[in-house]
Amino acid sequence: MVTESVTIPGRFNGPPSSANGGYACGLVAGLMSAEELGVSLRLPPPLERPLAVARDADRIELRDGDALVAEAAPEPLRLDVPEAISPDEAAAASRAGRQRWFSDHPFPTCVVCGPERGCHDGLRLFPGRLRDGMFAADWTPDESLANGNGHVRPECVWAALDCPTSAPVANFGEGRPMVLARLTARLGCSVRVGERHAVLAWPLSIEGRKRHAAAALFDSAGRLLCASRSLWIELRP
């Protein structure tokens, strides 16, 4: 095994003291070259300290000392994506659902979907109910997420494909908070900074405390750019 390290910046938190799950998954995925990857989170990813990266053939582990934080390997997405929606449709759904999202949010400082994060600080993705169990949010990535070539850094795209998938399967105000356990994604096309996009999320299945959902990211022309499938775990009391 070859060992190196990565550090998750404090800005990219989910819960207050740990990383946003999608961002952490994307950071690990970025160390591999496969187009479709599955990343499992075994522990809340720590912020602002080096985490060891262990490579073994087509598998990667992220470790905090002896503790396994995350592991990744190529995995087919196998996902049927609904028809595209426009950023205007997504924005209307987001506005309509904002009170619900803001009032019952379990992690209000989450960098992706937390209502307490301001513009140019958080991604400010606030999913609202669309139809048929689907939720949507509009997203215009800003320069703070750029890779230097006018596109969004891949780990930030993974983050955007994470939080919206909680909306179709969440227990807002009625149950325990959920955390991301696994995210599988395909980043088929680059996401441009400063352009309007639509994120669509829909439920897949619920098995006790396990909740499966999916998301797709479309550009303003309705082109499918990226997609994800997530597993959320409802926390125990």
Distance, in Å, from the CA atom of 54 to the CA atom of 147, rounded to the nearest integer, reads 25
Range of the domain at 195: 87-234
Collapsing DSSP states into helix, strand and coil, what is residue 58? coil
Q: Are residues 61 and 35 in the same domain?
A: yes
Distance, in Å, from the CA atom of 216 to the CA atom of 226, rounded to the nearest integer, reads 6
Q: How confident is the model at residue 2 (pLDDT cuts 50, 70, 90)?
A: very low
Is a pLDDT exceeding 90 seen at residue 138?
yes
pLDDT tens-digit readout, 216-235: 999 999 999 999 999 999 98
- Percent share of the chain, pLDDT over 70: 97
pLDDT tens-digit readout, 46-73: 999 999 999 988 899 999 999 999 999 9
CB–CB of 226/81 below 8 Å? no
For position 42, what pLDDT does the model report? 97
Beta bridge partners of 2: 55
Nearest to 73 by CA among 54, 88, 87, 60: 60
Which tokens hold the place of 103?
Answer: 């009032």
- Give the CATH number, domain containing residue 189: 3.10.129.10
Q: Do the strands 178-187 and 197-207 form a parallel or antiparallel pair, or are they unpaired?
A: unpaired
Q: Are residues 59 and 37 in the same domain?
A: yes
Q: How confident is the model at residue 21 (pLDDT cuts 50, 70, 90)?
A: very high
Q: Does 82 map to a domain?
A: no
Is a pLDDT exceeding 50 seen at residue 1?
no
pLDDT tens-digit readout, 73-125: 999 999 999 999 999 999 999 999 999 899 888 899 999 999 999 999 999 99
Q: Which of 74, 104, 137 is the last residue of a domain?
A: 74
Beta bridge partners of 41: 70
Helix, strand, coil shares, percent, the chain, to 5: 20, 35, 45
Q: Are residues 18 and 55 in the same domain?
A: yes
Number of domains in the chain: 2
Distance, in Å, from the CA atom of 152 to the CA atom of 157, rounded to the nearest integer, reads 7
pTM beyond 0.85, yes or no = yes
Q: How confident is the model at residue 174 (pLDDT cuts 50, 70, 90)?
A: low
pLDDT tens-digit readout, 189-217: 999 999 999 999 999 999 999 999 999 99
Nearest to 137 by CA among 195, 91, 172, 173: 91
